Amino acid sequence: MDRDKMLHEIMALDFALIDLNLYLDTHPTCTETIELFNNVAKKRKVMIESFEAMYGPLTAINYTNSEDMWDWVEEPWPWERKYGCKE
Amino acid sequence: MWIYEKKLEFPINIKNPNPRLAKLIITQYGGPDGELAASLRYLSQRFTMPTGETKAILTDIGTEELAHLEMIGTICSQLLKGADCETLKACGYDPAYVDHGCGIYPMNASGVPFTAAYLQSKGDPETDLIENLAAEQKAKTTYEYLLHMTDDPDVIAPLRFLREREVVHFQRFGEALRIVQDLKDRKTYY
Rounded to whole angstroms, the Cα distance separating B59 from B41 reads: 10
Minimum CA–CA partner of A29 in chain B: B53
Q: How far is B35 from chain A (nearest CA, A)?
A: 16
What confidence score (pLDDT) does residue A82 get? 81
User: How many Cβ pairs closer than 8 A exist between chain A and B?
Assistant: 76
Rounded to whole angstroms, the Cα distance separating B40 from B57 reads: 14
A85 touches chain B (CB under 8 A): yes
Q: Do residues B144 and B151 touch, judged by C-beta distance below 8 A?
A: no
Minimum CA–CA partner of A63 in chain B: B5
What confidence score (pLDDT) does residue A87 get? 40
> Which residues face B113 on adjacent strands?
B107
What is the block-wise mean pLDDT of chain A (87 residues), using blocks of 10 residues?
A: 93 98 98 98 97 96 94 96 67
What confidence score (pLDDT) does residue B165 get? 98
For residue B189, name the pLDDT band (cuts at 50, 70, 90). low
Chain-chain contact of A21 with B10 (C-beta, under 8 angstroms): no
B81 touches chain A (CB under 8 A): yes
User: Which of chain A's residues have a Cβ under 8 Å away from the Cβ of B9?
Assistant: 11, 14-15, 18
Compute φ and ψ for B113, nearest 5 degrees. -65, 155
Q: So where are chain A's domains?
A: 3-85
What confidence score (pLDDT) does residue A85 get? 57
Percent of chain B with pLDDT over 70: 98
For domain B19-114+121-185, say whether CATH 3.40.50.300 is its number.
no
> Which residues face B107 on adjacent strands?
B113
Residues in chain A: 87
B182 touches chain A (CB under 8 A): no
B65-120 pLDDT, tens digit per residue, is 999 999 999 999 999 998 899 999 999 999 999 999 999 999 999 999 999 999 99
Minimum CA–CA partner of A26 in chain B: B53
Q: So where are chain B's domains?
A: 19-114+121-185
Work out the mean pLDDT of chain B and round it to a whole number. 96
Q: How far is B59 from chain A (nearest CA, A)?
A: 10
B11-44 pLDDT, tens digit per residue, is 999 999 999 999 999 999 999 999 999 999 999 9
Nearest by CB to A81, from B10, B13, B73: name it. Answer: B13
B125-146 pLDDT, tens digit per residue, is 999 999 999 999 999 999 999 9
For residue B153, name the pLDDT band (cuts at 50, 70, 90). very high
Rounded to whole angstroms, the Cα distance separating A24 from B9 reads: 19
DSSP summary character for residue B114: P
The interface residues of chain B toward chain A in range 122-181, judged by CB-CB distance below 8 A, are 168-169, 172, 175-176, 179
